[in-house]
A and B are shown apart, each in its own frame.
Chain A
Amino acid sequence: AQKITQTQPGMFVQEKEAVTLDCTYDTSDQSYGLFWYKQPSSGEMIFLIYQGSYDEQNATEGRYSLNFQKARKSANLVISASQLGDSAMYFCAMREGLGGATNKLIFGTGTLLAVQP
């Protein structure tokens, strides 16, 4: 069964510094998608970045980049130049299923990031 592991329950980072949030996954599927979401204290889930299992390059979206190491089954999120507004819970997730014919996501337990001024 698919599984997402986030081993960092909480992290601190100084404003303007970069931070890496870890995510490892387990799946027997050859085709899968990995996502990162941000959840502020308000509760909404905000999509940040996506990485496909066949994508040759690491995904980037503004200050967010994904360090994808397929052989190690890791998909770490890198946030550059942290801002106070980045303080939130961050979830790594994987889309399950064959051929993508489902929108069921398997989530990790999340990492609570606190950005300090």
Chain B
Amino acid sequence: KAGVTQTPRYLIKTRGQQVTLSCSPISGHRSVSWYQQTPGQGLQFLFEYFSETQRNKGNFPGRFSGRQFSNSRSEMNVSTLELGDSALYLCASSGRDTGGYNSPLHFGNGTRLTVT
């Protein structure tokens, strides 16, 4: 069974630009969540999608947005990039529809975004 796939692996963007990251969950998983990892702030939850609906959102500005398609694939978009957006962005999928406590999140390899 293929794991969570994130594309691209690396991105270099300039301040003010926008970027779209893609995530394909494990087949059959309907929940996709996104995390930002930085040396200063650690791992922070961005948002979660389930059946094309945003189920939960972290404390990030509106420049960060996401969506989920009918095949459960998800994209996140960051507009008007700032230097502080440089981070590893991790996507995770889960197989339990209600996110039951005994179902782990399976993460992708991440997209490393550098904003110059």
A residues within 8 Å of B by Cβ?
Answer: 31-33, 35, 37, 42-47, 50, 52-53, 91, 93, 95, 97, 99-110
Given the complex of chains A and B, what is the CA–CA distance between A43 and B43 in angstroms? Answer: 12
Known contacts A107-B43, A109-B42, A110-B42; A101/B107 CB under 8 A? no
Instruction: Determine, out of B16-24, B60-68, B69-77, B94-102, the stretch whose residues face the partner at the interface.
Output: B94-102
Q: In the complex, are the beta carbons of B42 and A107 less than 8 A apart?
A: yes
Known contacts A43-B88, A45-B107; A103/B94 CB under 8 A? yes
Most A CB atoms within 10 A — which of B42, B99, B106? B99
Q: Could you tell me the dominant secondary structure of chain B's interface residues?
A: strand
Q: Mark B83-116, 1 if CB is under 8 A from A, else 0.
A: 0000010101010101111101111111010000
Q: Could you tell me the dominant secondary structure of chain A's interface residues?
A: loop
Known contacts A42-B109, A103-B31; A52/B101 CB under 8 A? yes
Q: What residues of B have a CB within 8 angstroms of the CB of A46 in the complex?
A: 107
Tell me, rounded to whole Å, the shortest Cβ–Cβ distance linking B5 to chain A: 11
Given the complex of chains A and B, what is the CA–CA distance between A53 and B90 in angstroms? Answer: 26
- Other-chain residue from A37, A45, A100, A106 in contact with B101 (beta carbon distance below 8 A): A100
Tell me, rounded to whole Å, the shortest Cβ–Cβ distance linking A24 to chain B: 16
Q: In the complex, are the beta carbons of B101 and A33 less than 8 A apart?
A: yes
Q: What residues of A have a CB within 8 angstroms of the CB of B14 in the complex?
A: none
Q: Given known contacts A37-B107, A50-B102, what 19 new A-B pairs fall within 8 Å (CB)?
A: A42-B109, A43-B88, A44-B107, A44-B109, A47-B104, A47-B106, A50-B104, A52-B102, A93-B43, A95-B101, A97-B99, A100-B98, A100-B99, A102-B56, A102-B99, A103-B92, A104-B58, A107-B42, A110-B42
Q: In the complex, are the beta carbons of B101 and A105 less than 8 A apart?
A: no
Given the complex of chains A and B, what is the CA–CA distance between A9 and B114 in angstroms? Answer: 25
Tell me, rounded to whole Å, the shortest Cβ–Cβ distance linking A62 to chain B: 15
Tell me, rounded to whole Å, the shortest Cβ–Cβ distance linking A90 to chain B: 12
Most B CB atoms within 10 A — which of A32, A93, A101? A101
Q: In the complex, are the beta carbons of B56 and A104 less than 8 A apart?
A: yes
Most A CB atoms within 10 A — which of B43, B88, B109? B43
